Amino acid sequence: MEWITDIRRMLVSFALLLCFYAAQSQEKVEREYRIKEGEVPAEALKFIDACNFDKKIKWFREENESGSSIEAKVRRQNRRHSIEFSKTGVLEDIEIEIDFEELPANTKGKIISGLDELFAKWSIRKVQIQYKGTTDKLLALIREDVNTSLQKRYEIVLKAKKDRRLQMFQITTGQDGEIVEVQKIDLRSTDNLEY
Amino acid sequence: MAGSNLYAQSSFEAGTLPSVNLNTRISGPWRFNFKWESRQVLYRGIFGENKQWDAFYERSDFSGVFSRKVGLNNSIAAGYLIRFVEDRIVHRTIQQFTLVQYFTGFRLAHRFSTDQTFIPDIPTISRYRYRISVENPLNGQEVDPKEFYLKVNNEYLFIHSKRNNGLEIRIVPVLGYNFSDRNKLEAGIDYRLAGLINSEIRTHDYWLTIGWYVKL
């Protein structure tokens, strides 16, 4: 049938156009990928060994425009922990996922009033405390739950309405709950889940 | 007697099912999806009886669907499909609601849809569908550019017309490659089991599916 031949011709031309388009499209590359323990710097392994985690450690390398880092992810006391190292294995920080309700009342109050000023509506999805300090003090945090003399920040992922649109944001606050950074999170395309 | 004859036969078809999905944002929360999908049968027959290689082009579908985000992760959509099959033209209207959930390490999508198919000289066929999809990165905790992922769709279709009612189940495992957030390729098997109720013949379809998703 002639119309089938016409449709085939049209589709071939169309596919060629799309190939051209796909070859042209360039995107910023930011990747996190799983690595084996053997690829982890010795210094990072030494710290993790000293932590005595009883759950399996998953290792990741994160690459972005500013460089790369190594991350160990593990569950401890039923909380997600992310321990970040430089690419040479120098400990940078520890992030622990917690419930918003667990924050001190003053900090929580300051975060809530900060969010109310920024957004028309918001709801919290994830809260992490980020601890920074010396290796010994960070080790004491893991082994003995001692968090004194550590620099604390909160990273909060939330769904919020801004400019009449619901969007995802990550805010960073200081120890007292004052918002110091607001970043918009771009959600990945859902086309292949919708059609 | 009738009971023993029920589902006595199971027929099958196998072939290829390529598709191209073009997606674009129109303005604000409005988006548009254009899809081309075609079917080529390669092998078919009846289980336990005759089977034959029988390669032929079966059909082509072209559809356009407008969607609107109604929340951060939800969208409603409506569209129209035209199908060229043998010497007939089939029309279909489509409505759908999709909810996508983000978890650490995977994404889950629920799609509720209905469609109405208009075929000359045949009563209108209405389908009520639910599809659950899970997408898992094969490296890291989310699908980054230049990474592979696994996606599995499982869909249930209740089919209603004046003549008959039916049930169809689809399971579609695919391996995907994310060139970028604007360009993905998926390949896998699209298995469809139809004739589950009110039918004496069950049909099993096995399609080698290759889908290309491009965001313009």
pLDDT in tens, A72-131: 999 998 899 999 999 999 999 999 999 999 999 999 999 999 999 999 899 999 999 999
| The pLDDT of residue B167 | 95
Q: What is the mean pLDDT of residues A132-152?
A: 89
Q: Give the integer Cα–Cα distance in Å for B96 and B65.
A: 10
What does the pLDDT average to over B119-132?
95
Q: Does domain A99-186 have CATH number 3.40.50.1370?
A: no
- Using the structure block, give the residue that is written with the tokens 């004194």: A148
Residues belonging to chain B? 216
Class (C level, CATH) for A28-94: alpha beta
Instruction: Give A175 to chain B, closest Cα distance, Å.
Output: 26
* Structure-token match 């959930």, residue found: B101
DSSP classification of residue B66: E
Around Cβ A42, how many Cβ atoms within 10 Å?
9
| CA dihedral over A187, A190, A191, A192, signed as positive or negative | positive
Query: From CA B170, how far away is CA B185, in angstroms rounded?
Result: 20
Q: Residue written as tokens 């969010």? A: A115
DSSP-based three-state secondary structure for B200: coil
Across A17-42, average pLDDT: 67
Which of A51-60, A62-71, A148-157, B169-178 has the lowest average pLDDT?
A62-71
Q: If you average pLDDT over every residue of chain A, what do you get?
A: 85
Task: Assign A29 to helix, strand or coil.
Answer: coil
Give the minimum alpha-carbon distance from A182 to chain B in angstroms, rounded to a whole number: 18
On the question of pLDDT at B82 being above 60, the answer is yes
ipTM, two decimals, is 0.90
Residue B90, token pair as written in the block: 């089939």
Closest CA relative to residue B99, chosen from B85, B110, B113: B110
Do the chains contact at B145 and A159, CB–CB below 8 Å? no
Show the domains of chain B with their CATH numbers.
2-215 (2.40.160.40)
**B8 pLDDT higher than 60:** no
Lowest mean pLDDT among A65-69, B67-71, B87-91: A65-69
How much is the pLDDT for B146? Answer: 86
**What is the rounded average pLDDT of the residues A139-159?**
89
Scan residues 154-213 of B and list those with Cβ closer than 8 Å to A: 176, 179-184, 186, 211-213
pLDDT at A23 over 50: no
Q: Which of B23, B56, B70, B216 to mutate to test the interface with A (most CBs of A within 10 A)?
A: B23
Tell me what pLDDT residue A66 has. 76
Average pLDDT of chain B is 92
Complete edge-to-edge strand list for the sheet that includes strand A79-86? A31-35, A58-64, A67-76, A79-86, A91-98, A121-132, A151-162, A165-173, A179-185
Percentage of chain A exceeding pLDDT 90? 58
Closest residue to A4, CB basis, from B20, B57, B180: B57
Q: Are the beta carbons of A170 and A183 closer than 8 angstroms?
A: yes
- CATH 3.10.450.40 domain range(s) in chain A: 99-186
Q: What is the identity of the amino acid at A41?
A: P
Contact map slice: B 91-130 vs A, CB within 8 A: 96, 98, 100, 102, 104, 107, 109, 111
Q: DSSP assignment, residue A149?
A: T
Of B49-53, B54-58, B114-118, B212-216, the one with minimum mean pLDDT is B49-53
What per-residue confidence (pLDDT) applies to B3?
A: 42
pLDDT score at A28: 39
- What would the mean pLDDT of B53-72 be, rounded to a whole number? 92
